[in-house]
Structure 1
């Protein structure tokens, strides 16, 4: 009886299978983690390219903020004609609802669809005239995650024929990273991409997209 117990305790049959069963979940988690985090960095880079593209489109095309083209054209004091438009004179922030309806707030006020040009917002988001839009570079991007701001830069002058010269800031906010494996396995599905932005100085704002 004692001999049989000793043989059983010394038996190595199946040890490799047990070791594999213990190690395999860890190895698979590491492997899938490398895949997911590689895709995470791809999304990070795509997000940066998306805001750069959005800023360039916003820089040279019709402003989303409907009232912006008139800014810098009629100073309150007629003696200011030809003088620089001071920084902080205007500030428009344009976003979209979860349904994709664009709106703009003026000076921190309520975001109103009446203040926004939906076509201009869609052109920056989707692209236009053969140009790629933001969603072309980051396919998981939602309209509600795009924020476009037009703020007085201190450049340009009152009654400038081509309109104001705003600082244009395009940013992505509250965009979640997409995980193929770790989202459900380890609960990584709720990790939000840090806000990213691109800022440029507006050029001649056109009524058509180049």
Structure 2
């Protein structure tokens, strides 16, 4: 006769439920992981498109750095008039604080002056009624994560009528990936997207597009 102890060890009823209880959390984590990482890949593509659009808008609109248009338009040394503007002649970096207020640092920016055109920054970030901005492509983007640089890289010439020809680099920095499920399960909320940037050559400086 089989003892009660041996019956217990060889009993199979309920085994499926136990196996399911063990496997289900792993399967759910895997499934939700696919969903979240698919969304992260979407965010990566959206950020890439956002910096491309931001660079294009910065390329054809009024510079955020208010001191930039005056760079290279005058030259006291008449022997240099028409000569190439050397790389590094000017460099302006424009960002925004947590409240969205823009400011620029650079060659001719005076201490205590933001040296920034807020409307131009907002235009690149928000766009207009007829032009999509960076925020339209990446809705989770905030202004403090946008960095716009205008630098001299050896293009243009002194006293050029159209103004300086900057190299413009638009970047997204410190932007976190958004996870719906894995943030709570595995603490993925703190993963920061690698910096995304797009660089273009500036065109003749003009008024911001409507």
TM-score (normalizing by structure 1): 0.95
Q: Output the CA distance in 2 between the equivalents of 1:190 and 1:113.
A: 34
Q: Unmatched 5+ residue regions in structure 2?
A: none
- Retained in 2: the 8 A contact 1:127–1:133? yes
Residues 151-181 of structure 1, C-alpha deviations (whole Å, 9 max, x = no match): 0121111111111000000000000000000
Q: How does 1:18-29 map to 2 (within 5 A)?
A: 18-29=18-29
Instruction: State the 1:188 CA deviation.
Output: 0.6
Pairs aligned (count): 210
Task: Tell me how large the CA RMSD over aligned residues is.
Answer: 1.8
SS in 1 for 2:154: strand
Identify if the C-alpha distance between structure 1 residues 139 and 50 changes in structure 2 by more than 3 Å, giving closer, same or farther: same
Q: Output the CA distance in 1 between the equivalents of 2:208 and 2:146.
A: 21
1:46 paired residue number: 46
**Are 1:15 and 2:39 matched, yes or no?**
no
Identify if the C-alpha distance between structure 1 residues 4 and 96 changes in structure 2 by more than 3 Å, giving closer, same or farther: same
- Retained in 2: the 8 A contact 1:59–1:201? yes
Q: Output the CA distance in 2 between the equivalents of 1:109 and 1:176.
A: 31
**Are 1:196 and 2:191 matched, yes or no?**
no
Instruction: State the 1:108 CA deviation.
Output: 10
1:164 paired residue number: 164
1:61 paired residue number: 61
SS in 2 for 1:115: coil
Q: Output the CA distance in 1 between the equivalents of 2:193 and 2:173.
A: 8
Greater shift, 82-91 or 15-24, is seen at: 82-91
Identify if the C-alpha distance between structure 1 residues 12 and 94 changes in structure 2 by more than 3 Å, giving closer, same or farther: same
Residues 10-33 of structure 1, C-alpha deviations (whole Å, 9 max, x = no match): 111110000000000000000000
1:98 paired residue number: 98
Q: Unmatched 5+ residue regions in structure 1?
A: none
1:32 paired residue number: 32
TM-score (normalizing by structure 2): 0.95
- Retained in 1: the 8 A contact 2:67–2:108? no
2:89 paired residue number: 89
